[in-house]
């Protein structure tokens, strides 16, 4: 058995997840990702295929899956976002797609709050100016008493809601998936659609999956619905926004700023429109990359992979067939 390991945070962070792979007796081929389709096709050809992909945000397309067959037995995602995997193609070919829910919501929620505060307080601009020897001062915004709109109601959104409430923010969202006790205890205002939510919020934070329906969710039309001077945060997926539209809104002052941990194409392809916009705060998709979270996530991903290949039913599968 040969496992292709491509996720860098798994590889770079020490912990018990490495021991699980080492003790499995399986061969491990480690290549630093994320790897595009062409790179995966080349690796498959060079190594004669793999029995498992233990992947991050590599582009596992239908073409890659077909090239990996008949040897490929399982795709194991280190994380929960499956938009870079053609899950439908895997399902049609009876290839299980495993993932790791419930391991990173705490740290991603913390990262979301960090970006929120960073944008509101002009943190990046001020800190970089001081380190460059300039005493540049710029007025920020308080978050206390502000209305936070959460697009999404999953584990991460719920953890953000708890932390934002503790900071004195008011919470709003949409949809029918919030636990009733949380809606009551945190006094969450629910709206039937994104379009009805946006005009009521001082800060909007995106926590929904990237699907054909949510691609470009925040675009020129929806930005026009938002309050003047609103803050937009994205720790979901880069494709949830139209980058050109968000950049223009930040330049014009329609948005006070944008904070994100993800881009439409990663790593950043330069030159990039965001590079010249000073009220956009970016981090390189590290919201779930803490020592604690990596070990939890890595351990679950490693166990998923090893258990499946060993015939142990203790793994978490995202697709059904």
Which listed residue (37, 110, 248, 266) is catalytic? 266
For residue 285, indicate whether it is catalytic: yes
For residue 266, indicate whether it is catalytic: yes
- Cβ-Cβ contacts under 8 Å for 230 (sequence gap 6 or more): 201, 202, 203, 204, 255, 256
Beta strand ranges found along 78-188 (DSSP E): 97-98, 147-151, 170-174
Which listed residue (17, 158, 207, 237) is catalytic? 237
Q: How far apart are alpha carbons 7 and 185 in whole angstroms? A: 38
Minimal CA–CA distance to 172: which of 188, 159, 185?
188
What the block records as the tokens of 265 is 């194409």
Backbone phi, psi, residue 319, to 5°: -105, 160
Q: How far apart are alpha carbons 93 and 197 in whole angstroms? A: 40
Q: How far apart are alpha carbons 171 and 254 in whole angstroms? A: 22
Which listed residue (155, 158, 285, 300) is catalytic? 285
- Cβ-Cβ contacts under 8 Å for 252 (sequence gap 6 or more): none
Please give the C-alpha separations between residue 294 and each of 17, 44, 160, 262, in angstroms, as whole numbers: 9, 27, 19, 18
* Burial profile 165-191: b = 16 or more Cβ within 10 angstroms, e = fewer: beeebbbbbbbeebeeebbeebebbeb
The CA R_g of the chain, rounded to the nearest whole Å, is 21
Catalytic residues: 237, 266, 285
């Amino acid at each position: 058995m040969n496992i292709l390991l491509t996720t860098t945070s798994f590889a770079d962070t020490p912990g018990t997840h490495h021991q699980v792979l080492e003790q499995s007796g399986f061969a491990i081929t480690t290549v630093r990702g994320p790897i595009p389709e062409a790179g995966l096709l080349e690796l498959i050809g060079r190594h004669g295929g793999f029995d498992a992909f233990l992947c991050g945000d590599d582009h596992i397309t239908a073409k890659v899956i077909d090239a990996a067959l008949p040897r490929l037995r399982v795709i194991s995602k280190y994380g929960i976002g499956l938009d870079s995997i053609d899950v439908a193609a895997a399902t049609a070919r009876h290839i299980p797609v495993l993932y790791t829910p419930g391991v990173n919501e705490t740290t991603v929620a913390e990262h979301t709050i960090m970006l929120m505060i960073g944008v509101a307080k002009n943190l990046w601009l001020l800190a970089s100016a001081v380190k460059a020897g300039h005493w540049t001062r710029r007025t920020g915004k308080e978050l206390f008493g502000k209305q936070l709109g959460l697009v999404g109601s999953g584990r991460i959104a719920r953890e953000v809601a708890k932390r934002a409430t503790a900071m004195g923010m008011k919470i709003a969202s949409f949809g029918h998936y919030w636990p009733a006790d949380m809606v009551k205890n945190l006094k969450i205002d629910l709206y039937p659609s994104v379009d009805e939510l946006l005009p009521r919020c001082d800060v909007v934070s995106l926590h929904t999956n990237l699907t054909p329906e949510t691609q470009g969710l925040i675009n020129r039309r929806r930005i026009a619905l938002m309050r003047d001077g609103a803050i937009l945060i994205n720790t979901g997926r880069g494709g949830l926004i139209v980058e050109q539209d968000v950049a223009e809104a930040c330049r014009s002052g329609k948005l006070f700023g944008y904070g994100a941990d993800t881009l439409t194409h990663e790593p950043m392809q330069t030159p990039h429109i965001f590079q010249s916009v000073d009220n956009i705060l970016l981090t390189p998709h590290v919201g779930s990359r803490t020592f604690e979270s990596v070990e939890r996530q890595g351990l679950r991903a490693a166990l998923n992979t090893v258990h499946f290949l060993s015939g142990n039913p203790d793994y978490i599968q995202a697709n059904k067939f």
